[in-house]
A and B are shown apart, each in its own frame.
Chain A
Amino acid sequence: MITPILRRTLVALATPLVALSLAAPARAEVAFREFTSPGGITAWMVEDYTVPIITLAFAFDGGATQDPADKLGRATLMTTLFDEGAGTLDSDAFQERQDLVGLEMGFSASLDSFSGFARMLADEREGATELLTLAVTEPRFDQPAIDRMRAQLVAGLVARSQDPGYAAGLMWSEALFGEHPYGRPAEGTEETLAATTADDLRALHQAIFARENLTIGIVGALDEATAGALIDRVFGGLPQEADLVETPEAEMSFGQQLAVDYPLPQTFINLAWPGIAEDDADFFPAYLLTEILAGGSLLSELNVEVREKRGLSYGVSGGLVNLDHADALTISTATRPDQAAETIEVIRATLARVAEEGPEPAQLERIKRYLIGAYPINQLRSSVSIAGAMVGQQLRDLPIDYVDERASRIEAVTSEDVQAVAQRIFAAEPSLMLLGPGASKNETGSDQ
């Protein structure tokens, strides 16, 4: 058993021993622990009795990329069907029972994985676990339920069909990823949803709901033995082996200029450069670079230049996108239409300056402190976030003590590293998309 501990960095070593022996409250800490159930299923857990609830997060490799081109939206449709009947219970009976035993449950599909989430009161564990087991292992995919859920998804697509932001998003993905599955609409279209049958859903469930393909995080008011019995019950009935369609590496296209002319009160600006993979030696420098340029706070270089100094926008955001088979660095903002060209110019000049001069040492240091401190604060604030973090780390093949490794790799990054990776990334011409009134490709500012 591995027992790494995430704790506040300064444990009070100076505390007199006598104080420790009193009932002084211990420092709060959250320990991730790995264990294997009697049935041979491995999971990460945190045992915590503060609130009498149990939270379970889990994920299977294989998400929307598993959908055939003519059945796009299959994984998304499947996410809606786990509370629509399982085992001998039809939709109505299942939901009646779910309400009674107090099982909260939800599913979602990303491009690369299929995730589930369940929550229950500790004293309702028995009934809730039984029902969750049925949902996970024996979903029915009854035709009336499929028709109903499909109709809702289609209504959502119709509702968005005139939304220029949605159309632009589709165009943006297609332009960047081309024929690759990442370039397709994961939510499907009216036609591909109509073409998806109950058998297609059963095939997907069969292919990805497998034990070798499963990661689990469990948090709450239960001990390891109880947790082991719970996960054996819920997942023990699944087949051992998955049957995934292999997804190729994406060949992304950069240097494109797209414009969608639409009468909106603002012009939306999206930029994308080639990214840096998580296993690349430049990953941490690129991670720091992105945070310096467009991280969450108003102190990021782009927020200072675009928002604080010039009032051009309510905010600039950006991030490294790391998918299983593609990586990108994106920056986006919105501005008054007549200021779009100026805003792009300011963004380009800021990137060029950072690539030329590197970050200020104080700025780099602040970002390091932020990224190291933010990890526990963002990941440990609730059972839901802790369970999700444990699954996320496993999906990305990160070690259970990643928080420590991550901190030391962040510490090691120098200004020169960041400058070098900025030169590497921004040497490429980005893809750029404008969405707004009179948006045209000529507005994209001078070249770099």
Chain B
Amino acid sequence: MTRSLPALFATVLLALPAAAQDQPAFEASHFTLDNGLELVVIPDRRAPIVTHMIWYRVGGADDPAGQSGVAHFLEHLMFKGTEKYPGGTLDRMVSELGGSTNAFTNADVTAYFQTIPPDALDEMMDIEADRMRNLVLPAEVIDAERDVVLDERRQRIDAQPQSILAEEINATLFQNHPYRIPVIGWAHEIADLSREDALDFYDRYYAPNNALVVVTGDVEPETVRDLAGETYGLVPRGPNLPERERASEPPHDTSRTVTYADDRVTLPSFSRNWVVPSYRTAPDGDAEALDLLSAVLSDGIRSRLYQKLVVETGMAANAGASYDGSAYDYGTFALYGTPRPGTTLEALEAAVFAEIDDIIANGIAEAELERVKRRYIRSTIFARDDQGNMAQTYGVWLTTGRTVDDVAAWPDRIGAVTADQVQAVAEEYLRPEIAVTGYLLPEAEETQK
């Protein structure tokens, strides 16, 4: 999984528990072991299923220079086994239980997870605790796994015009921060990754005091605490890691354009992108206001861009906005659209920005904002229906500098945002003169742009 997949973050942002509700059905227990491992448990006793996730606070943006993709490569290698649980053991055990196991890497975190019957939680914890320090990597598994990753890259990026462009937009949007480098890595650097590169990364970052365990489902917090003590608790604390500081962005003061044409593309599309604050770095209320701005513009069929551009003028096949505020260092905001056949890309682009200008000039009505907030809060209640969502939400929030209390307080913070704040963030952050615009074009139209 890579940072360029906005779907994950969209889900996460809508997947928050509504503590604003009178009686929160899910109480999160939060505790830390002596070795520094942090745990969160959210019981949900409906079905005999448990979701167990371990999150390491390290991701693609922590790859050493010239070794892009090493965090993700290590994620693959983590399945090669230990002396106690040789390669394939985890897959085999989970499979025999009818469960599932997988992992993902993004720019900030690397997470491993299983969905299993509750009786198997102790074994899962033992396996994760074991592979936190005891990974065995015979030289012969390295080459084949590197080829698998290169094939994954071809499948996820090179085979998709949209993904090729997204990677380049990212590399342009961020001028200095490592978010500019794809999490999966550049192909030529993946090809050079060695066993030592992966092991150095592993030794540095995989330790209890750099990890978070989230357990949701049919289990009691006390049980998890006991099991964690017998498994994770036996892993010695690693050296203290320095504060997580990556290279920061210089001021952005130019607009830039990235264009990609491909003969698989028939309808052109554009996106306009900005670096904006994330939840962790935003001044008070700005991240919530950016979330609501994106919802006013494009959450559902009552949103402004849909009503104006799809329904009223019929210019757009689709048009929308998205805010990703869940990354550690910086958020991103994007506006995008695809014209219907017969409308030019330029005309649609202008119409989308006219909506932003309208918000900046005239603000939004309180009643409209209230409707959007209500939709938002409702979706957080629906999101509680899925224990996997809950584990994902707590995992993302707690590994990007926020707390359990922040998760609980979030609906209230959304509720407190004013129409003026939404207007203000649009004006402050969505400045055309510093945007990066991406164009995805049919091959033949390339020369016209």
Task: Please tell me if the beta carbons of A8 and B117 are within 8 angstroms of each other in the complex.
Answer: yes
Residues of A within 8 Å of B158, CB to CB, are 265-266
- Say if the beta carbon of A104 comes within 8 Å of chain B: yes
- Say if the beta carbon of B91 comes within 8 Å of chain A: yes
Task: Please tell me if the beta carbons of B385 and A313 are within 8 angstroms of each other in the complex.
Answer: no
CB proximity of A32 to chain B, nearest CB, Å: 12
Task: Please tell me if the beta carbons of A159 and B267 are within 8 angstroms of each other in the complex.
Answer: yes
With A28-B47, A50-B45 known as contacts, the answer to whether A366 contacts B95 (CB < 8 A) is: yes
Q: With A and B bound together, what is the CA distance between A90 and B94 in angstroms?
A: 51
Task: Please tell me if the beta carbons of B92 and A29 are within 8 angstroms of each other in the complex.
Answer: no
Nearest CB in chain B to that of A7: its residue: B48
Task: Please tell me if the beta carbons of A377 and B98 are within 8 angstroms of each other in the complex.
Answer: yes
Task: Please tell me if the beta carbons of B91 and A299 are within 8 angstroms of each other in the complex.
Answer: yes
Residues of A within 8 Å of B302, CB to CB, are 95-96, 99
- Say if the beta carbon of B341 comes within 8 Å of chain A: yes
- Say if the beta carbon of A375 comes within 8 Å of chain B: yes
- Say if the beta carbon of B118 comes within 8 Å of chain A: yes
Q: With A and B bound together, what is the CA distance between A312 and B152 in angstroms?
A: 11
- Say if the beta carbon of A30 comes within 8 Å of chain B: yes
Residues of B within 8 Å of A8, CB to CB, are 48, 117-119
- Say if the beta carbon of B6 comes within 8 Å of chain A: no
- Say if the beta carbon of B25 comes within 8 Å of chain A: yes
Task: Please tell me if the beta carbons of A369 and B381 are within 8 angstroms of each other in the complex.
Answer: no
| A: number of interface residues (CB 8 Å) | 73
CB proximity of B395 to chain A, nearest CB, Å: 17
Task: Please tell me if the beta carbons of B49 and A314 are within 8 angstroms of each other in the complex.
Answer: no
Task: Please tell me if the beta carbons of A154 and B341 are within 8 angstroms of each other in the complex.
Answer: yes
Task: Please tell me if the beta carbons of A309 and B144 are within 8 angstroms of each other in the complex.
Answer: yes
Task: Please tell me if the beta carbons of B47 and A163 are within 8 angstroms of each other in the complex.
Answer: no
With A163-B264, A309-B144 known as contacts, the answer to whether A298 contacts B79 (CB < 8 A) is: yes
CB proximity of A170 to chain B, nearest CB, Å: 15
With A50-B46, A99-B375 known as contacts, the answer to whether A373 contacts B159 (CB < 8 A) is: no
Task: Please tell me if the beta carbons of A159 and B96 are within 8 angstroms of each other in the complex.
Answer: no
Residues 375-388 of chain A, each 1 if its beta carbon lies under 8 Å from chain B, else 0:
11110111110000
Q: With A and B bound together, what is the CA distance between A423 and B386 in angstroms?
A: 42
Residues of B within 8 Å of A83, CB to CB, are 301
With A148-B311, A372-B98 known as contacts, the answer to whether A266 contacts B338 (CB < 8 A) is: no
Residues of B within 8 Å of A29, CB to CB, are 47-48
Q: With A and B bound together, what is the CA distance between A433 and B143 in angstroms?
A: 29
- Say if the beta carbon of B447 comes within 8 Å of chain A: no
Residues 155-168 of chain A, each 1 if its beta carbon lies under 8 Å from chain B, else 0:
11011111110000
Task: Please tell me if the beta carbons of B98 and A311 are within 8 angstroms of each other in the complex.
Answer: no
Within 8 A of B (CB), among A29-82: 29-30, 48, 50-53, 55
The majority secondary structure among interface residues of chain A is mixed
- Say if the beta carbon of B155 comes within 8 Å of chain A: yes
Residues 218-260 of chain A, each 1 if its beta carbon lies under 8 Å from chain B, else 0:
0000000000000000000000000000000000000000000
Nearest CB in chain B to that of A152: its residue: B317
- Say if the beta carbon of B172 comes within 8 Å of chain A: no
Nearest CB in chain A to that of B311: its residue: A148
Within 8 A of A (CB), among B91-116: 91-92, 94-100, 115-116
- Say if the beta carbon of A336 comes within 8 Å of chain B: yes
Task: Please tell me if the beta carbons of B46 and A28 are within 8 angstroms of each other in the complex.
Answer: yes
With A152-B310, A265-B154, A372-B98 known as contacts, the answer to whether A99 contacts B371 (CB < 8 A) is: yes
Residues of A within 8 Å of B146, CB to CB, are 311
CB proximity of B131 to chain A, nearest CB, Å: 16
Residues of A within 8 Å of B386, CB to CB, are 381-382, 384
User: B residues within 8 Å of A by Cβ?
Assistant: 21, 25, 44-49, 79, 88, 91-92, 94-100, 115-119, 143-148, 151-152, 154-155, 158-159, 218, 220, 263-267, 300-302, 310-311, 314, 317-318, 338, 340-341, 371, 374-375, 378, 381-382, 384-388, 442
User: A residues within 8 Å of B by Cβ?
Assistant: 7-8, 10, 25-30, 48, 50-53, 55, 83, 91, 95-96, 99-100, 102, 104, 119, 121, 148, 151-152, 154-156, 158-164, 264-266, 296-299, 307-314, 334-336, 366-367, 369-378, 380-384
Q: Across chains A and B, which 7 residue pairs bring their CB atoms closest together, nearest first?
A: A373-B98, A311-B147, A155-B317, A374-B98, A311-B144, A369-B96, A8-B48
Subset of 14 A-B contacts with CB under 8 Å: A51-B385, A53-B385, A102-B378, A152-B340, A155-B267, A158-B267, A162-B263, A162-B266, A264-B159, A309-B144, A310-B144, A311-B151, A370-B96, A372-B98
Known contacts A28-B218, A334-B154, A336-B154, then 12 further A-B pairs from the complex at CB < 8 Å, ordered by chain A residue: A95-B302, A151-B340, A152-B317, A152-B318, A155-B338, A155-B340, A159-B267, A159-B317, A311-B145, A369-B95, A377-B98, A383-B385
